[in-house]
Structure 1
């Protein structure tokens, strides 16, 4: 027997029972067809037809008037057939409920194993996009969604999820907020985002909270509720649309670099950590471009203004962040060899 099929039968007995009942039903059709042939002298198709209308209770007329023996045989076929159909229906219903229970148990198990994950509250257009981008980047994601209409889409995207209200303390705890790295509020109501932010900050004072603001007038209120960063998708969308008119090639370049999955080059950021081999050296001494094939397009000194297009004489110090442009692999090699970023998300976004 196929190993996968065997595993399915062992793990879910209802599947096995449905299979047995279906086999019995096929046997009843065979016995019925042959019975009508030998008792009533019917052909194969007429015997199959009589068996079908008897079990299905459709009640069309008989092929011909039945003998006493034929009528007794028909009653037997009816009783056995209806019994098997009822059994299949009950087992199918049980299988549906067992699968739902199995799915919930599997989700709880995965949640228990998660650590330093990202909780996304709301799976509308924005939450959906954020969740998929983070997942594609290899980051662990948990979605909290209340609306039943969005659950099928979450399942299709294969996210770990909890169906419930993000404003419920138990739901956030079930999502593992005490172990999460960040919480992203992408709910459609600013009022809901404010309350969720307040609750999340109370449950985990150290967590990084990123919140969608639907109205600019609510940005300050959301920040006061405890959000580390507040973003208005509408402002960002409007700015990008304006840039398509004002600076079309610049906008095309940025979109290609940040959204084209086929693009080999990328933007990235690295922190010059404690004990880094780059600390105290100038860009000219390091020779980043010649040695690693990576371009440093900006330096962000710790707590200071961004220094664009740095000179070869500029010194890199501990705590500085470098904004890089280069081939994905080379950027990765540069990061793993020379830079280690131990900052929390809140620290990395403090000066944005």
Structure 2
């Protein structure tokens, strides 16, 4: 609820709620006076007032004469009118909010505006849905941008944050919080749209990490030149995977285990050595990562060099990427050891 709508609701409720409060005060005072000779207490008088305006209809605790009955009718009519008027105002407000925002888009936009370091998914086709579920299982916050009504319904059904709009438009990316995001996954079914989205996102945030789908494998170089950090063809990857399942099924099963986030016992993670990290200038032997964290450093990527099974004498430099294997807890400990 915004401040303007909340203020409007308070103003509309001021009269009926004030009327109900006034009826309770006057009714309690009146019943106290009517029951003065019967030894009625203030609680008795308040009880009489409440059961009258709420139409509960319990028995009288204060015996009433003709004047008392007339007073009760006035209290009942005025109080019931105030209560029902208040209820009508609240229901009118709730119904109007629902009609103006049937899919809860305003509420969702407020949730998106609070996100920091999230992922934006442009396109919710088959590839986009798979990417969304992988991020969901990894508990990484993400926002989907897609103009399709079916995609909106799918996201709403599964509780995903969603922007109904065309990701080729800067406005849609801005609404998704692209300037606060850590990454962008582009998964539309047309390379022209993917190229345009990559260009737009790169202009909006120069250091954004962008991964794009390429429908045609020949589009990969163009997407990379447009600003994508990575561009892949799902069909090419699917074909290679099918072949590897025949050639090396055990290897594929292992990688399925270590790259799946969630409750799996093993994970494969990349850890970057940033400038100023405490590991810079220290050897793997000095860090003693295996003993202190339990994680294994399998590969060190240094620029275009790939250093498998790195020697313990290797001194880490700024920009090195460590590929490590371990449980989530072990990998977190290793990242802390590396970055400080």
After TM superposition, the score normalised by the length of structure 1 is 0.65
Give the equivalent residue in structure 1 for 2:172.
171
Cross-structure match for 2:274? 273
Detail structure 1 runs of 4+ shifted over 6 Å in the superposition.
none
- List per-residue Cα deviations over 1:141-198 (Å, max 9, x = no partner): 1111111112221112211111121122322222222332222210011111112222
Unaligned runs of 5+ in 2: 1-8, 13-91
Tell me what 1:212 maps to.
213
Q: 1:176 to 1:313 in 2, by over 3 A?
A: closer
Q: Distance in 2 between matches of 1:183 and 1:293?
A: 32
Superposed counterparts of 1:107-118, under 5 Å: 107-118=108-119
Aligned to 1:310: 310
| Deviation readout 1:248-299 (Å, 9 max, x if unpaired) | 1111111121227442111112223344443333333332222321111111
2:99 corresponds, among 86, 97, 100, to 97
Normalising by structure 2, we get a TM-score of 0.67
Could you tell me how far apart the structure 1 residues matched to 2:105 and 2:265 are?
39
The aligned runs of 1:48-63 (5 Å cut-off) are none
Query: d(CA) in 1 for partners of 2:240 and 2:139?
Result: 29
Alignment of 1:278-317 (within 5 A): 278-301=279-302, 303-317=303-317
1:257 corresponds to which residue? 258
Counterpart secondary structure, 2:237: helix
Q: Give RMSD over aligned pairs.
A: 2.8
Q: Is the contact between residue 138 and residue 262 of structure 2 (CA under 8 Å) also seen in structure 1?
A: no
More displaced 10-residue stretch of structure 1: 264-273 or 119-128:
264-273
Q: How many residues align?
A: 253
Deviations for 1:89-134, whole angstroms, at most 9, x for unmatched residues? Answer: xx89867525516x12101211222233221111111111212222
CA distance in 2, matches of 1:293, 1:236: 32
